[in-house]
Amino acid sequence: MLDLESLLEGKREEMIRDLRELVKIESVKDAACPGAPFGPGVREALDLVLQKGQAMGFAARNVDGYAGHLEFGVGEELIGVLAHVDVVPAGSGWTHPPFGGEVSDGRLYGRGSSDDKGPVIACLHALATLKEAGFAPRRRLRLILGCDEESGWECVDRYFAAEERPAYGFSPDAEFPLIIAEKGQLGLEMSRCWGGVEAPEAAVRVVALHGGTRPNIVPDTCRARLRVQATVLPEVLDILRQSAMPLETTEREDGLELAATGMAAHASLPQKGVNSIGRLLLGLAGLMPYLPGEQAEVVRFLAEGIGLDYDGSGLGLACQDASGALTLNLGTLSWDEKGVTVKVDIRYPVTVGRQAIFGPMRDKAELSGLRTAVYNELPPLQVPDDHPLAVKLLQVYNERVGGQAAPLAIGGRTYACAIGTGVAFGPVFPGRPEVAHQRDEYIDLDEFMLMAKIYAAAMAALTAE
Ligand SMILES: [Zn+2]
């Protein structure tokens, strides 16, 4: 076998220089300008990597600033490696300059150092090393560089509309050892407009109710304002006090203000959080006899159907397979004098059909006067564990780090599903902290080198025969 590892080790300083140069480009999505659909910073980052690749002798292609690629080798079949050069905004609270590429204590700091510029540079030099070593791939290898992974994936839509789709490939944009299954994602928006003033006026009316900021996060705060007729106020307060839900209740001139606190978590791991909207709705459920009929219907559906559930059991949707159990997050709720809108983020197991989830959900919501629309969806991803892609990558990883790691199935979504037949492979090693999107994002330079070695071996394994 070629000595790829010592060749790569000899490039360590050059690789760190290249990564610093790329991290210094503030490739945050910005207003489009000619040739730069995601703003000038993202375009500059794409150009830099393509120029470096060209200088190494690879054929480069830029698809109108949406994405680009570097290609190595000849052959009928195409293998893809999909990474991205755009980054999320820096945010605040950094102790190192977010676009400085500062090296300290064996780490390189900066936004994108780990997500996903470190892997981009690791893969670029892995490719260059194969070429220098005289490796002759039997399939073509493409390092594809997306420019809009962090927002809408418009980059890959445009790229694959113009360019050949790889037979299969991997994305170095999640974690090791290997992710071969990702649950399907279904984002539903349910809404109802209030019919108008009721006669006689109800004893209690929910005037406003708001919780959550993004549907893919378990909401940690929720607040409501109720108009309460003075005659029923004592009994309403009694009911709220007896509720099992810890609500903060404040008396106002014409009624009450309620607040519920929960704990935030990613919607794909809702068991790690506590849903504040669910808490508030369950507290409100005790007041259903006092509410206008249309409001009581909506509270009943949301409190009894969902409440604090995150597995869909209250709606009869609970199911699971080898990829895990269905999860459901009541992510945002917006309720005012005109109507109510809720967004629910559902992740369903890979062997369950989307219609088996959507149909019952829509029908049950309709019984409470709620109309259901899809605001976002991604079908499940599953590569069989005996597919050569999965077998070879896992073998490369296990040989290099030593061990018998098994592939993973997750509820989150990764860039791998843009490839078609794709898996996520690194860059975060098991047990290591997740630093992506956080302040003081960094990449450990020894791990940076290790991932480059793994990626070089993986590229060789996928194209050797
Ligand atoms: Zn990423």
Tell me, what's the pLDDT at 152?
Answer: 83
**Residue 113 CA, ligand 1 centroid: distance in Å:** 10
pTM confidence score: 0.85
**Residue 67 CA, ligand 1 centroid: distance in Å:** 14
The first and second tokens of residue 40, run together, are 């000038």
Distance CA 368, CA 288 (A): 13
**Residue 148 CA, ligand 1 centroid: distance in Å:** 10
**Residue 426 CA, ligand 1 centroid: distance in Å:** 11
Contact partners, residue 108, CB within 8 Å, separation at least 6? 16, 19, 20, 23, 101, 102, 118, 442, 443, 445, 448
Whether the predicted pLDDT of 22 surpasses 90: yes
| Exposure string for 317-356, b = 16+ CB within 10 A, e = fewer | bebebebbbbbbbbbbbebeeeebbbbbbbbbbbebebee
Tell me, what's the pLDDT at 322?
Answer: 87
Task: Report the amino acid identity of residue 98.
Answer: P
Whether the predicted pLDDT of 47 surpasses 60: yes
pLDDT tens-place string over residues 356-408 = 999 999 999 999 999 999 999 999 999 999 999 999 999 999 999 999 999 99
Task: Report the amino acid identity of residue 231.
Answer: T
Q: Angle between the 12-23 and 445-463 helix axes, to the nearest 10 degrees? A: 100
What is the arithmetic mean of pLDDT over 94-98? 97
Whether the predicted pLDDT of 198 surpasses 80: no
Distance CA 169, CA 152 (A): 21
**Residue 437 CA, ligand 1 centroid: distance in Å:** 9
pLDDT exceeding 90 applies to what percent of the chain?
A: 91
Indicate the pLDDT class of residue 107, thresholds 50, 70 and 90.
Answer: very high
The first and second tokens of residue 411, run together, are 């509820």
**Among 50-64, 142-156, 193-207, 423-437, where is mean pLDDT lowest?**
193-207
The yes-or-no answer on residue 149 being catalytic is: yes
The first and second tokens of residue 277, run together, are 């909207």
Whether the predicted pLDDT of 347 surpasses 90: yes
**Residue 108 CA, ligand 1 centroid: distance in Å:** 17
| φ/ψ (deg, to 5) at 44 | -65, -40
Sign of the alpha-carbon torsion through 276, 279, 282, 288: negative
Q: Please report where in the chains the tokens 């810890």 appear, as a residue.
A: 246
The yes-or-no answer on residue 163 being catalytic is: no
**Residue 419 CA, ligand 1 centroid: distance in Å:** 14
**Residue 353 CA, ligand 1 centroid: distance in Å:** 28
Query: Under a CB-based contact definition with an 8 Å cutoff, are residues 420 and 164 in contact?
Result: no
Query: Under a CB-based contact definition with an 8 Å cutoff, are residues 293 and 300 in contact?
Result: no
Q: Which of 116, 149, 294, 309 is catalytic?
A: 149
Sign of the alpha-carbon torsion through 32, 36, 40, 41: positive
Indicate the pLDDT class of residue 319, thresholds 50, 70 and 90.
Answer: very high
**Residue 261 CA, ligand 1 centroid: distance in Å:** 30
**Residue 50 CA, ligand 1 centroid: distance in Å:** 19
Distance CA 325, CA 206 (A): 34
Across the strands, what pairs with 187?
345, 376
What is the arithmetic mean of pLDDT over 424-451? 95
Tell me, what's the pLDDT at 413?
Answer: 87
Residues near ion ligand 1 (CB < 5 Å) are 115-116, 173
**Residue 415 CA, ligand 1 centroid: distance in Å:** 7
Indicate the pLDDT class of residue 309, thresholds 50, 70 and 90.
Answer: very high
Distance CA 43, CA 35 (A): 8
**Residue 121 CA, ligand 1 centroid: distance in Å:** 14
Q: Which of 18, 26, 47, 86 is catalytic?
A: 86
What is the arithmetic mean of pLDDT over 169-192? 96
**Residue 442 CA, ligand 1 centroid: distance in Å:** 13
Tell me, what's the pLDDT at 197?
Answer: 63
pLDDT exceeding 70 applies to what percent of the chain?
A: 98
**Residue 404 CA, ligand 1 centroid: distance in Å:** 26
Whether the predicted pLDDT of 40 surpasses 70: yes
What is the arithmetic mean of pLDDT over 268-284? 95
Tell me, what's the pLDDT at 442?
Answer: 98
Q: Please report where in the chains the tokens 């199911």 appear, as a residue.
A: 319
The first and second tokens of residue 184, run together, are 């399907």
Whether the predicted pLDDT of 2 surpasses 70: no
What is the arithmetic mean of pLDDT over 28-47? 97
